[in-house]
A and B are shown apart, each in its own frame.
Chain A
Amino acid sequence: MSIALSQIKAATKAKSIQLEIAGVSVRLIPDDPALTLTIEGAAREFLINDCTPDIELTAAWGSVEEPRAPLLFDSGAVWKLFDINGDRLFSFNSPTLGTDPYKLAILNPEFTRGHVILNSNSFEKGAAIYPLEYPLDELIVLNWLALGRGVEMHSCGLIDSDGRGRLFAGQSGAGKTTTARLWENIDGVKILSDDRIILRKIGEEIWMHGTPWHGDAELASPAKARLDHIYFIKHGPENRLAELSKANAIARLFACSFPPFHSSEGLDFTLGFMSEVVASVHCAELTFTPTREAVDFINGMIE
């Protein structure tokens, strides 16, 4: 197998699909007459009309085998990252599909151009495919953001009925989906996501953006809001808010983020960005009960 991003021919824009997630536009172009693209689930909410994209990707069927290249990172699960002469190659494996990867994606170091190769032995023949299927879409956007543009948080984000942006951050089991369900039917409240929120700086303010990568509540919106409060959530017997030191808040933000562990520059940016977030957004630990009283408690805290 020989793979080089520079050798990939220009594909037709016809039948392409284009998404925008947190202000990042991604165009996906089929580079194979036998490939029919589709898009499923919440990602459909993020489709946009054709415009000049930040990231342009082509996709085609192909013969795929394990890359022979320096390994940069092994996730320990479905994906690994390799260095191909400076370009970045994601390889996706599943033991249910044999030893060869079911998909490869090669991107330039700027994460602005790339090509996806779908293993024709791994997918149903003739089926329409979404080549960026999780986790590839999220990995591409995360790596593009890590080049000085933003950070994704494991969190539930919502805009309350007064237009305030509230972020409820926590790892699995902390109560993100529970929080989303407590707030979702309240008049004037909009849930941006019950599991993944992207933070970016707009001017001097930190804004939060919804993403398609929802949790069990399946709540996902392409809307955005200025971020006013961050709560590090945990279940408890009563509703309680505890202030945090800035160092503690930064550490908790990091633990609830998806940093690019393979990139020292990306890690530097991520920590610096979190320092900026903590400097401009109120952060606290929220212990809460899974009841409507938790919502009233938060609303009662409004200064």
Chain B
Amino acid sequence: MEEKEIQKKSYRKPEITEIELRPEEAVLGSCKTAASAGPGSGRCNFPSACSSLGS
């Protein structure tokens, strides 16, 4: 019985690790390259996520 108690793992407080999720990348929201986002790609002036390249 005593031996079993010695073998118990020591308590480790649970930790929260934050992993960043970038929604605009995960949903194919940003332009892939400067020349590939529809027929207007050459004139692209999207106001938000789509104005940046998502490589």
Contacts and interface: CB of A to CB of B under 8 A. Distances in A.
Contacts of A176: 55
Contacts of B46: 77-78, 94-95
Contact of B19 (A76, A133, A154, A251): A251
Interface string B16-55: 0101111111111110110011111001111111100111
Contact of A76 (B21, B29, B33, B39): B29
Categorize the interface residue count of chain A: 35 or more
Contact of B37 (A78, A123, A258, A259): A78
A215 interface: yes
Contacts, number: 99
Interface stretch (A9-17, A53-61, A134-142, A158-166): A134-142
Contacts of A139: 28
Nearest to B37: A78
Interface residues of B, number: 31
Interface of B: 17, 19-30, 32-33, 36-40, 43-50, 53-55
14 contacts: A75-B28, A76-B29, A96-B40, A122-B39, A134-B36, A154-B25, A171-B22, A172-B53, A251-B17, A254-B21, A255-B19, A257-B26, A258-B27, A261-B26
Given A94-B37, A94-B44, A96-B45, 19 more contacts: A76-B29, A77-B24, A78-B38, A92-B38, A96-B40, A97-B39, A97-B40, A138-B28, A139-B28, A142-B28, A172-B22, A172-B53, A176-B55, A215-B55, A216-B33, A254-B21, A255-B19, A255-B20, A258-B28
